[in-house]
A = this chain, B = another copy of it.
Amino acid sequence: MPLRIVVATGSSVPIYRQVVEQVRLAAATGRAKAGDALPSVRTLAEELVVNPNTIAKAYGELVREGIAEAQPGRGVFIAAKRSVYSRAERARRVEGALEEFIHEAVCLGMPEEEIRALFEKRLSRADFKQGEDKP
């Protein structure tokens, strides 16, 4: 089973980003293992009824990030785990989302304990091994 990818075409988050994040997640949680093949650009494009370029853009990003490797003429594969990201690099990348969350909450007048409670509740639901797909 070559990794199932689904997208919500109605969403405001770009299709190519949805693809990138699903693969990134699958690789991070171990659902996709090093060497696993991704669906071919054209195949996935047909399946999702989007333009092949959109998929190519997503795969290109995964390759540049080192999460996948492209073997021209053969396909795209999950790369050997390369110690993932450094702590600082990870922090930098989620910084924006954290900022947005705290800012929103404070703007709405949410008290500190309520923010923390919400955060802990969600964190406890997070799956660090297998899933994390929004149900």
Contacts and interface: CB of A to CB of B under 8 A. Distances in A.
Contact of A83 (B25, B72, B73, B88): B88
Contacts of A83: 88
Nearest to A91: B118
A105 interface: yes
Contacts of A66: 92
Interface string A96-123: 0111111111111111101110110011
Nearest to A74: B9
Interface in A47-87: 61, 64, 66, 69-74, 82-87
Interface of A: 9-12, 14, 21, 24-25, 28-29, 35, 61, 64, 66, 69-74, 82-94, 97-112, 114-116, 118-119, 122-123, 126-128, 132, 134
